[in-house]
A and B are shown apart, each in its own frame.
Chain A
Amino acid sequence: MEAIKPHFGERDAFARSAFNRYYYSAFLNIREMLGALDSSWSSLPHKSYPEVLQGQVKKKFNRARSRASRNDDTVLVDRIDTAKRALDELAKMMSTAYGIRVVADYEPNEAVDFNARPRFALRSVDISDAHDWENNTRLLCQSVENTWNEIHV
């Protein structure tokens, strides 16, 4: 059998499709987590995810944090602080992934950079980093959910 080398257009399309799919894998993780935290957060528009994570979700954690702080529960305060940092990271990751997905889907004139190291990149985001979106969102979502379950019992 002989491998067939894709021509430039195909190579570009395959690369865009990879960025698109990595975005959706991260999006689905966060959607599942938000749905588990509160069912009313399970059907939000894509673009609003960073705002909800850093707005409504964080607000709930802030309220629980001040209560825990008033009760001198330093362990819970630390856990909430860590969960809030995870929320910031998730929001940042979603914002980047969403932006790159928009470029991949709607800016066909902007070519994928196949000279980038280590693999190929779009807007300076390497596909290896995009590949990590799924794993990283899963890890951070777990951290947020664990702490959420401690403050909502």
Chain B
Amino acid sequence: MSNAKKIVEFFKKSGIDPVGSAVWDRESLNHLVFISVEINDKGKQIPSNFKLSLVEKSAEAEFGKISVVLVNRGDEDIANSIKSLLFRRYSDDVRNVFSKVQDGRVTVWIDTKGASSKDKTTEMMQTVIGLLEYFDLKLDSFVNTSELNLPSETICVSAIRQKAPVLPNDVIEELRRRGFEVPGEDWLLRILDKWRKRGLIHRKSNGTFLMTVRGLRALGSGKNRRSPDVARALDLARRAQ
């Protein structure tokens, strides 16, 4: 019996029924085993990734390198329902939808045809939440990849790191330049105040903000071309010109 057949038998004996025979991948020099998965009524994948990994490792010990290929995601019914609902109801707005069910929680990514308003995104999200109730599932996150995001606290402070000493208005300008939506100065000051009280940034009497050593440690650094220290050095050089 060939190794490909033995591998399939091995999986069957372990309670996993592969789709078709194992295939020798001459580019990567290993066997590919195709497995179909489904999602049970509790939102769990069957067979589980844990079981798949155990059987894969045992098979590898006997037959050499094996790659398990999942030929469906098991959650197509739910994913297709979400997709068709959004396409049907928001045909002028939605370009693409992708969703994933994991442990009873659903993540949805959408791409819109143009810049859509926050209200529209919230409306679409509520529509999906309504649908998921029928499946007894919860929405974990709803991501509109075309939408301008509110900046996270880390990115607000990293703008200070680059531009310090800097006024809040200049931080807002920098964040908007980076493609973020900033509601206003009060919103930003609330965040900066929180970081200032923890001693991570310092506010000078002239209203400008700068980093403390503790703040620099909290943000960390990097040894690559996108290192924040390099970004600051380049920014200082630009300002000196």
Interface residues of A (CB under 8 A from B): 38, 46-47, 63, 67-68, 70-73, 75-76, 78-79, 81-82, 85-86, 89, 92, 95-96, 98-100, 102-103, 106-107, 110, 123-125, 129, 135-136, 138-140, 142-143, 146, 149-153
Contact = CB atoms under 8 A, between A and B. Distances in A.
Contact of A143 (B143, B158, B200): B143
Contacts of A79: 149, 152
* Listed residue (A63, A106, A140, A152) with the most chain B CB atoms within 10 angstroms of its CB: A152
A96 B69 contact: yes
- Among A63, A72, A110, A123, find the residue whose CB has the most chain B CB atoms closer than 10 A: A123
Interface in B56-79: 67, 69-73
Contacts of A71: 153-154, 200, 218-219
Contact of B23 (A72, A106, A152): A106
A153 B158 contact: yes
B27 A73 contact: no
Given A82-B107, A124-B34, A139-B98, A107 B70 contact: no
B102 A152 contact: no
B70 A73 contact: no
B226 interface: yes
Contact of A99 (B34, B72, B218, B219): B34
7 closest A-B pairs by beta carbon, nearest first, are A99-B69, A76-B152, A142-B145, A47-B28, A152-B226, A75-B152, A73-B153
Contacts of B154: 67-68, 71, 73, 76, 150-151
8 contacts: A73-B153, A78-B141, A96-B69, A100-B69, A124-B20, A124-B71, A124-B72, A143-B143
Contacts of B102: 85
Contacts of B34: 99, 123-124
A150 B109 contact: no
A139 B72 contact: no
A124 B70 contact: no
Given A73-B153, A85-B100, A124-B72, A153 B231 contact: yes
A94 B178 CA distance: 30
A91 to B, nearest CB: 10
Nearest to A75: B152
A78 B105 CA distance: 14
A55 to B, nearest CB: 15
A85 B107 CA distance: 8
A45 B109 CA distance: 28
B96 A136 contact: yes
Given A75-B153, A79-B152, A85-B102, A102 B25 contact: yes
B26 A106 contact: yes
B162 A92 contact: no
B224 A38 contact: yes
A63 B221 CA distance: 11
A150 B143 CA distance: 15
